[in-house]
Structure 1
């Protein structure tokens, strides 16, 4: 099923229990983020006001007892995008999102190989997996969904495998 950006926003706002999110790319080029990343690269200050809508949603979820977890699988040393992403994550963490970092090399250690779906995803309330596909330069290509229990379980298992190695945002020091 194809999911529009507006539908996706509604799905994220409307979770009943939990959202888990796996990110696996070293760089993204989302239209919303690019101007702010450019400011960061130029050494200009950013009040992060543009994140406040998402932070308000996170605070609502947290107050209602819902959880939002994100695991970022990253190459080290971090790409510029991921260094910037690390630098702006604190408001989301303060608002209740559990953001964790996983050095990519740890997922292929002997005896500990983790297999991942080909695209980033969210699993919402153990019933819907939303795949985020990107172009080569990191722009959003499509947002699609599946309620097939096998797809949901595969993604939940992949997330759980990654989460075992995940370092909480406040404890992760980018290299």
Structure 2
């Protein structure tokens, strides 16, 4: 039997044994059947992708492993929801002629999600400095004062932020 057949059998067993439990666990936390089902699906998708890698994880406690993945996905879900709500509030404040079309709104939301993922990979101080500079227009000196660091450190933080943006731009081409 090929090696991936064993991992596929193990995955099938995990799915049939733990999917209903995981959906129930997510439903109790989210209060929404559809979102719970989506996140459970995404959890098992990540498990399956990891099981297909050269070095799949050895898991002694499947439910703990699934819960850890599901918690991370729930956090991502709530962050996306928060981002989308903030975007909608911003749209509501725009005068009618400036409101982008539905297609433009979708593009902006997709871009915001990509930026959110990109910025989430940065250390918190780097992310804070980058956002203060780029969104609020705060000077490096003001950022240094707010973060209790020197201007040289802020310059390093900004360079990290710009490198991360450049990676995203190069990856999308």
Q: TM-score, normalised by structure 2?
A: 0.27
State which structure, 1 or 2, has the greater radius of gyration over its C-alpha atoms. Answer: 2
More strand by share: 1
Query: Which has the higher relative contact order, 1 or 2, with Cα contacts under 8 A spaced 6 or more apart?
Result: 1
